[in-house]
Structure 1
Amino acid sequence: MNPVEPALHGSTASVHSFAVAPGRAGERLDRFLAAETAAAGADLSRTRLKTLIEGGHVSVNGVIVTEASFAVRAGQALAVAVPPAAEPIPAGEAIALDIRFEDEHLLVLDKPAGLVVHPGAGHESGTLVNALIAHCGDSLSGIGGVKRPGIVHRLDKDTSGLMVVAKTDRAHQGLARLFADHGRTLPLLREYLAFVWGAPDRASGLVDAPLGRHPVDREKIAIVAAARGRRAVTHWRLLEQLGPEVAALACRLETGRTHQIRVHMASLGWPLLGDPVYGRGFKTKAGRLPPEAQAALIALGRQALHARALGFEHPVTGAALAFESDPPPDMAELQAALRRSA
């Protein structure tokens, strides 16, 4: 332990103080503080507390402790100084969002196609994260000590539909556990609408095939040996046969891997319409569509994939939440054109 530095309890920090009861002696410092701060209503995850401990923001009997595994003793006085959340990087940008639900902990939105989720090379601004920072403002409590939205699942740039985003550390931790569980023990529903090339010969099925980086083209995902990939399971059912060339499928994710639906459907011989990566060999099929459907597919200009249903248990309140999203105008027009041509 080190002598207390004046900065520990600086005027800009929020200080939480606790005393160790006899029955709590011997507990790890991070575990003790996680329970106590949760009982006090402070939005601090155990991961965040560990960072604060290691950063010199926790004192025991007036002396800084920097080891999360430190065993507390009865009668000790503990203090946690939480510095204000750092301003977000990148900056917020005023970008319109279709918010379907919002409370102090999280929000659910309907992402349009073309909107990148995270800033990155080639997309330093104009992303969903930029929009969320501007929309949420001071309601972001500081996930990991930074005012930023907690993204626990993503949609590809050119995939539209429903997403849930955390606004607080507590919600972020809960949603992360939920999505890591993949619906095995916790309630989670993620279903997509996909238009695929082909005519399925059965009403439903599943693909259970591990996914990993393509061995040659590192920009692509491929089905790989179990030892080289991660388990991926997609359940599908036929919604509608849109003529001899195209089918509308509902794809429910049991796992959520990068490009999962796109790769799994292509492995069945039914790549998504408009998919520039996994449906390249099917471009000539577009020429066999009636002119109206061809024009609608060209106007779509992306993979025909939409996250249409999202259901989960609120990680803080425990409320059951369920949302549905109609296909966006570009997919709706393609569906209508295919129906008229069928």
Structure 2
Amino acid sequence: MIEENDEELFEHFRIEADPKQSLLRIDKFLIDRLPHTSRNRIQDAIKQNYIKVNGDDVKSNYKIRPKDVVTIFLPKPKVDFEIIPQDIPLNIVFEDDHLMIINKEPGMVVHPGHNNWDGTLVNALAFKFKNLPTHKNGEQKPGLVHRIDKDTSGLLVIAKTDQAMTNLAKQFFDHSIERTYYALVWGEVKEDNGTIEGHIGRSFSDRRMSTVFPDGEYGKEAITHYQVLKRLRYVSLVKCNLETGRTHQIRAHMKYLGHTLFNDALYGGDKILKGERFSKYKSFVENCFSLMPRQALHAKTLGFIHPVSNEFIQFDSEIPEDFQSVIDRWEHYVQYT
């Protein structure tokens, strides 16, 4: 599976300390309560923020107090869940016997997970198809070769056969898939075009985010090619071509470049990062945020070798209405102010 969205964490254990609990290091406290788990594994989980006390991250030397609530989260669900088929409309761009291309609406979660057990793309696919292939380990992600974030709109390819799944997955692994995204970012990007290279890995401070490690000391290689399409004084419309497909790659790379995505709340783009502070401008920006209550990112094109015909096929999509309306408003604003 090519991971391109937030890492879901699932609660596996919830342990409440006794009202008379004496002070005890959390790793020692958990050894007696988690069977077949070593102290090293517990300490590693604490470092990765998989273990929380009263909802907060702690260090291995934290001492459990009376009535502390310890929760342990892991990336995989504790038990398998049933995918509920749901008749959810899909914007199908192309379909044959082997694959399907859909244009995902912003706000749609791709597959069930924590707090999103239904209403997802996978629920819609389960209704439309009976036996879609899974990629590996029998994961309940039928048909999914890759993913995009909940609030990112755009094109996704769905495999309908095992042959298509294997073939397309290899193309993603080989980085031969052609993918173009449109992003509205804060600030005027200096160069007309360029390449951002920097390993991407989970942030040490917030595991929901990805961080660029330019020296390659952590994370995985990530390469994004970009071209500026429009400069709108305070923001820029940028076309990004992915050479790799890391989690939040464009969001992390553009922030690293100094141009956080417009209204990307997780990465700080939901604040005024460029421009004046007077009330008229502030009201204008807040109105744009309301029109597009998500990060300004759209998966516009998708191209690959068809797994059966071996012909290169490419698909394009229109910029969504919310995204386009914000671009139009910025163009009008910079023209008349």
1:172 pairs with 2:153: no
1:161 to 142, 151, 154: 154
Q: Which contiguous aligned blocks of 4+ residues in structure 1 show a shift greater than 4 angstroms?
A: 141-148, 284-288, 290-293
1:323 pairs with 2:315: yes
Q: How does 1:293-308 map to 2 (within 5 A)?
A: 294-308=286-300
Number of the residue aligned with 2:216: 226
Aligned 8 A contact 2:180 2:301 in 1: yes
With over 3 angstroms needed to count, the CA separation of the structure-2 counterparts of 1:141 and 1:238, relative to structure 1, is closer
Q: How does 1:266-305 map to 2 (within 5 A)?
A: 266-280=255-269, 282-283=271-272, 285=274, 289=281, 291-292=283-284, 294-305=286-297
With over 3 angstroms needed to count, the CA separation of the structure-2 counterparts of 1:95 and 1:281, relative to structure 1, is closer
With over 3 angstroms needed to count, the CA separation of the structure-2 counterparts of 1:146 and 1:196, relative to structure 1, is closer
**Higher relative contact order, chain-length normalized (CA < 8 Å, sep 6+):** 2
Number of the residue aligned with 1:258: 247
Aligned 8 A contact 1:162 1:307 in 2: yes
With over 3 angstroms needed to count, the CA separation of the structure-2 counterparts of 1:125 and 1:195, relative to structure 1, is same
Q: SS of the residue aligned with 1:194?
A: strand
1:314 pairs with 2:303: no
Distance 1:328 1:177 in 2: 30
- TM-score relative to the length of structure 1: 0.68
Amino acid at match of 1:119: P
With over 3 angstroms needed to count, the CA separation of the structure-2 counterparts of 1:147 and 1:198, relative to structure 1, is closer
Q: SS of the residue aligned with 1:207?
A: strand
- The structure having more radius of gyration, on CA atoms, is 1
Distance 2:246 2:240 in 1: 13
Q: SS of the residue aligned with 2:241?
A: strand
Amino acid at match of 2:127: A
Number of the residue aligned with 2:30: none
Q: Deviations over 1:58-100 (max 9, x none)?
A: xxxxxxxxxxxxxxxxxxxxxxxxxxxxxx9402110000001
Q: How does 1:22-101 map to 2 (within 5 A)?
A: 89-101=82-94
Amino acid at match of 2:301: A
Aligned 8 A contact 2:111 2:120 in 1: yes
Distance 1:146 1:136 in 2: 16
Number of the residue aligned with 1:332: 324
- TM-score relative to the length of structure 2: 0.69
Q: SS of the residue aligned with 1:211?
A: strand
1:118 pairs with 2:111: yes
Distance 1:280 1:249 in 2: 15
Number of the residue aligned with 1:235: 225
Count the aligned residue pairs: 249
Number of the residue aligned with 2:121: 128
**How far apart are 1:201 and its partner, in Å?**
1.5
Distance 2:144 2:106 in 1: 17
Q: Extract unaligned runs of 5+ from structure 1.
A: 1-87
With over 3 angstroms needed to count, the CA separation of the structure-2 counterparts of 1:247 and 1:146, relative to structure 1, is closer
Q: Percent identity?
A: 41
Q: Extract unaligned runs of 5+ from structure 2.
A: 1-80
